[in-house]
């Protein structure tokens, strides 16, 4: 075998190796897309204190494209969602909730958004929180 044959053989091996790496990377990326669930169940904490907060929080979540179910518990502050991960992300939902005035871990509502909530919904004010204990206020 001549020198040119060995050089061409080495080039071919490198080419095949690089193609294999490229295809492997592409298949891993495709598998990540498949992992996104159509009906992902998610739970996280949202600050709020009353029935009006409940309505506002759930509405903000449900208005997010891809959210199929949203229920927030006043006492535990837990938000339970069913979402289509192919259409939205958890961060997007949390941002939308914070935009209506409620703090979510990692997304604090702006002062402007917080100040726009009803005076009885000021969950950052300890006195108002104490006034709500054991009560669910309606609109």
The predicted pLDDT at position 53 comes to: 96
- Is there a single domain that holds both residue 8 and residue 49? no
- Is there a single domain that holds both residue 23 and residue 45? no
Range of the domain at 28: 1-35
CATH number of the domain where residue 45 is located: 3.30.70.100
Burial of 120 (0-12, 13-18, 19+ CB in 10 A): middle
The predicted pLDDT at position 138 comes to: 45
Cα→Cα distances 91→10, 26, 62, 114, Å = 48, 26, 14, 19
The predicted pLDDT at position 63 comes to: 97
20 against 82, higher pLDDT: 82
Average pLDDT, integer, range 14-25: 73
**pTM of the full structure:** 0.70
Instruction: Encode pLDDT of 49-94 as tens digits.
Output: 999 999 999 999 999 999 999 999 999 999 999 999 999 999 999 9
For residue 48, being part of any structural domain is answered with: yes
Cα distance between residue 6 and residue 10, in whole Å: 6
Cα distance between residue 27 and residue 13, in whole Å: 21
Cα→Cα distances 135→28, 121, 125, 138, Å = 51, 13, 16, 10
- Is there a single domain that holds both residue 44 and residue 110? yes
- Is there a single domain that holds both residue 47 and residue 77? yes
- Is there a single domain that holds both residue 10 and residue 63? no
Local confidence band at 12 (pLDDT 50, 70, 90 cut-offs)? confident
pLDDT value at 137 more than 50: no
- Is there a single domain that holds both residue 5 and residue 68? no
């Amino acid at each position: 075998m001549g020198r040119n044959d060995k050089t061409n053989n080495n080039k071919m091996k490198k080419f095949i190796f690089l193609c294999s790496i490229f295809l492997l990377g592409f298949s891993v990326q495709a598998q990540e897309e498949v992992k996104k669930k159509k009906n992902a169940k998610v739970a996280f904490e949202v600050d709020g204190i009353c029935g009006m907060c409940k309505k506002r929080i759930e509405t903000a979540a449900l208005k997010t494209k891809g959210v199929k179910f949203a229920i927030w518990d006043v006492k535990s502050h837990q938000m339970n969602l069913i979402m289509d991960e192919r259409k939205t992300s958890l961060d997007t939902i949390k941002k939308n909730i914070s935009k209506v005035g409620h703090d979510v871990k990692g997304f604090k509502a702006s002062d402007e958004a917080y100040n726009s909530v009803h005076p009885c919904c000021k969950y950052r004010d300890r006195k108002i929180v104490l006034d709500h204990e054991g009560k669910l206020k309606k609109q």
